Structure 1
Amino acid sequence: MSSSTRIDGIIFDKDGTLFDFHTTWADWTRTLLGHLSERHGADPEALARAIQFDLAECRFLPTSPMIGATSREGAETLAVAIPGSDADEIEEYIKITSAQAPLQPAVPLDPFLTDLSARGLKIGLVTNDTDHGARAHLTSAGVLDHFDFVAGYDTGHGFKPAAGPLLAFARQTGLDPTRCVMVGDSTHDLKAGRAAKMLTLGVLTGIAETAELAPLADDVLPDIGHIPAWLDR
């Protein structure tokens, strides 16, 4: 970021960015696989392999297709591994249960977001989760009111890595995209930011490591708590 760049808006991904990915989603995924295995008589290990999830360690592998996926994409991946299953039914189960998943914030969110608002920044959330799930999670964390814009993959603006939802944030807030930052833990997030002509920040509270994020990021930070110091620079 050059010394002349003014930042007016900041967009966050949700899972792996605002909320720690493994802590939030590993137990939920193990429960999901158990439910599908029992319902369809499928081998849970086979289902875990299909989504590249280490069942014994209860952790996603870095190459898991579930990372950054929409609930529809996840449902279709699992349906392929369960002969005779219905992707629509799996997707509905994912939508309902994921909205109720317990969340672990990457940092205390209320003071963090209060600080960003005090700097005059517009704040957005763009996630490949559902709109309902995004709002449910922000509400349960007590921070929904901090956001000027929220978009899930089904809100109507498209989904990452396309730029559509990021540009919708810029339109709704009246901001120049080049004065906005996209913050995320995956290459989907950073590719969307680049496509929207925004600055990009990678964080390491998801699956991806620095080497994967750095080519697409203006900077890579340990977590979102380092953003105020980055802005001050």
Structure 2
Amino acid sequence: MIDGVIFDKDGTLFDFRASWGAWAQRLLAMLAAESGKAEAELGAAIGYDPVARAFVPDSVVIAGTPSEIAQDLAAVLPGARAEVLEERLNRLAEGAPMLPAVDLTAVLGGLRARGLRIGLATNDNEEAARAHLAAHGITGLFDYIAGYDSGHGPKPGPGMCAAFARQHGLDPARVVMVGDSRHDLEAGRAAGMRTAAVLTGVAGAAELAPHADVVLPDIGHLGGWIDGLSV
């Protein structure tokens, strides 16, 4: 029996490549113009190829925090301060064009109709996360929203997941953490939750399966899997 679901955001609710590829292109073009550095060199620092318009599997953008992304960029930008870069990254992220992986209103509404509590745990900052949800009119479908800066720590630590269960009086064993990366699944398991992997991010099934109770094409298949657990 499941009483709650906590989602990752990027690569889970929103298609990762389509959404963050555009953000990365804009970021690299801006920093290259300011610094005189080649976009390819800047992209290599964060695991993104601006020519192929593709992220490498271990890109810091996939599962890292804006703080970690900023630190990696600062390392190849002489004189740059990571904290200033982090601020700029967060501002740029708020306006990033998020492309839903599925019909989010229908899927999340279906889960709420089952009586489930719905949460969000992202390594993005909370303000940007709220902006992305609001842009798609789905903020009200969430009972809990947390980012890396919300006071619970980033994933793969269990803090955000544990706080969701604690704040809503849920038994972690009856909550599912849904994500597209190992960080998401490790966070859920560390919090004592079931874990469901989706393939709308960069990682493949072979990488995610050892850390998940189930691997699904996307979150549109989640409701059916949850229903099967209660049979």
For the criterion TM > 0.5, the same-fold answer is yes
1:58 to 53, 67, 90: 53
Is residue 220 from structure 1 mapped to residue 215 from structure 2 by the alignment? yes
- Report SS of the residue matched to 2:42: helix
Is residue 177 from structure 1 mapped to residue 172 from structure 2 by the alignment? yes
Partner of 1:41: 36
Is residue 90 from structure 1 mapped to residue 74 from structure 2 by the alignment? no
Distance (whole Å) between structure 2 residues aligned to residue 227 and residue 72 of structure 1:
31
Shift of residue 53, structure 1, vs aligned partner? 1.0
1:23 to 5, 8, 18: 18
1:81 to 68, 76, 80: 76
Distance (whole Å) between structure 2 residues aligned to residue 128 and residue 189 of structure 1:
9
What is the identity, as a one-letter code, of the residue corresponding to 1:166? C
1:40–1:85 Cα contact (<8 Å) kept:
no
1:115 to 110, 115, 137: 110
2:22–2:97 Cα contact (<8 Å) kept:
no
Which contiguous aligned blocks of 4+ residues in structure 1 show a shift greater than 3 angstroms?
A: none
1:129–1:152 Cα contact (<8 Å) kept:
yes
Shift of residue 99, structure 1, vs aligned partner? 0.7
Q: Percent identity?
A: 53
Shift of residue 65, structure 1, vs aligned partner? 2.0
Partner of 1:204: 199
Deviations 1:2-48 (A, max 9, x none): xxxx1000000000000000010001101101111111121211111
- Please give the TM-score of this superposition, normalised by the length of structure 1: 0.96
Partner of 1:155: 150
1:47–1:81 Cα contact (<8 Å) kept:
yes
Partner of 2:126: 131
What is the identity, as a one-letter code, of the residue corresponding to 1:184? G
Distance (whole Å) between structure 1 residues aligned to residue 143 and residue 73 of structure 2:
34
Deviations 1:94-151 (A, max 9, x none): 1001011111101011111111011000000000000101111111010000000000
Distance (whole Å) between structure 2 residues aligned to residue 84 and residue 132 of structure 1:
27
What is the identity, as a one-letter code, of the residue corresponding to 1:10? V
- Please give the TM-score of this superposition, normalised by the length of structure 2: 0.97
1:134–1:152 Cα contact (<8 Å) kept:
yes
What is the identity, as a one-letter code, of the residue corresponding to 1:189? D
What is the identity, as a one-letter code, of the residue corresponding to 2:137? G
RMSD: 0.8
